[in-house]
Structures are given as C-alpha cells and as structure tokens.
Amino acid sequence: QVQLVESGGGSVQAGGSLTLSCAASGFSGLNIMAWFRQAPGKEREGVAAIDTFGTRRSVDSAKGRFTISQDKAKNTVYLIMDNLKPEDTGMYYCAARRWVILWERKSISASDFGTWGQGTQVTVSS
C-alpha cells in the first residue's frame, strides 16, 4: 500500500526556517514527489517537485528560499524552507505520481498527483 507521511511543520517567525519531511512507503519504479501548500480559502498550489533521477522544479515564489531534496536510502523527500514569510502560511502536503517524460517542463499541478499525505501545518508570524 502506497503511503506518504509528512512531518516537520510548526510555527515560526518571519525570516525563520523549517524543514518538512515526507516518508514514502510502498513505492516502486520511477516517481515524482512534490510538495504542495494550501492557504485557507485558496487552492492547493505546487511548490516544488523532484523525480527519482534528482531532477527538480520549483515555483518562482519558492526559488532562492525553498529547496527540495531526497534521501533515497530513507525513501524520504524534504522541503527545506528558509527566510519564511507570512504568506508561506498554510497546510503543506506531500504528493506522488508515476514518472513521465518532460514532467519538469510543466507546472506542478495537483490534478496530476494521485497519492497524498495528510499534511503538516506551517504558520509564519510577522
């Protein structure tokens, strides 16, 4: 059974840092792992993604502040978030999908991902 479990959320002040973890189990083959976030009243938006080969993609608002990485031995994907801003507040979800060619040339869309974790809350105060 495919399962994703997020951890690492919390409350920080603006300018602070957090590292989110997503432990994956039940996967095989080539995959794409992604982080999404959803603020209250807003749609879920993709933040960053990484595939089995290590190819990364992130949205403009995350570039220079957020880094996605993975530890294949631990089947874990991380989202390292620095210089956090109040607008980064939201529920952060880990998601997975099967690898497809040229995925990194497309936007990170929630509708493309079929496996989701339960989410972890990130709150950034000013």
pLDDT tens by residue, the chain, 126 residues: 789 999 999 999 999 999 999 999 998 889 999 999 999 899 999 999 999 999 999 999 888 999 999 999 999 999 999 999 999 999 999 999 999 999 999 999 999 999 999 999 999 999
- CA angle (34 as vertex; 32, 35 as ends), nearest 5: 175
Identify whether the C-beta of residue 113 lies closer than 8 Å to the C-beta of residue 96.
yes
